[in-house]
Structure 1
Amino acid sequence: MAALAYQFKDDLFAEGTPPAAQEMPMRSTAALGERRFTAWRGRSGRRYVASIFAIADQHALGFTDAVLLAVSADRRIIAARDSGPLGIEAALTRWQRSVAEAGAHEIHVHLLAEDGISRRAALLDLMPEV
């Protein structure tokens, strides 16, 4: 199994530039009138499920130990960050304001990373290339 994953990763990056993360909407929520959840496929191929919040929704900033993704209207991640263990409100509010000015329309919150190392790995996998 590890050999297959390694081969897939080699093929994935064969062009030289890793592809950007891509949103993969969840089929199980397609029948709901409101989009509340989505999934992102990182450059590694790993899948990350996230809750969707409007850019101005302060609830998106209330989670601790979460991966926050600022998403544009054309469904691209324009910024990502770890909310941190304390959810430092002032820093998160500044980030929210700056990503809104940069064109973010939503904040997607990934809560399933179990620890700081997992959150860091998710951030590196999902962050846009600079």
Structure 2
Amino acid sequence: MNAPPDHRFDPYRERAGRLTAEDGGTGYVFVRMSPSAWQVGGALWWRRWSEPSEQVEEYYDLPGFGFTDRVTEAADLADEVLEWGEGRLSAGEDTYHVEWLDDDESRRVRDEVFGLGDPGEQK
């Protein structure tokens, strides 16, 4: 299934960020985009699906909290993506400073911190 890309998220596709809390604690976020669709009717082999869209998978290693994740439709994160561009990221009740990392460092965080691997690799 292919979904039309939501270009607001282009700078954050397969990108990691270093999070810094107000108390100085540090952690990471990793952002991955994936297609999604909803069943709108039918059953079994005659199911009908919505038009595909993108969803945002966010993986967190939060200071003082540990690992968590969330999946949200890209269309529902309009305000958040603006904050990301301003160097802020909200997770739960907390707001962090986020420094977006380059490609090499993002791959390292993806693999070593979150253990996600390359989405193009067959498992």
More helix by share: 1
More strand by share: 2
Structure-2-length-normalised TM-score? 0.33
- Whose radius of gyration is greater, 1 or 2? 2
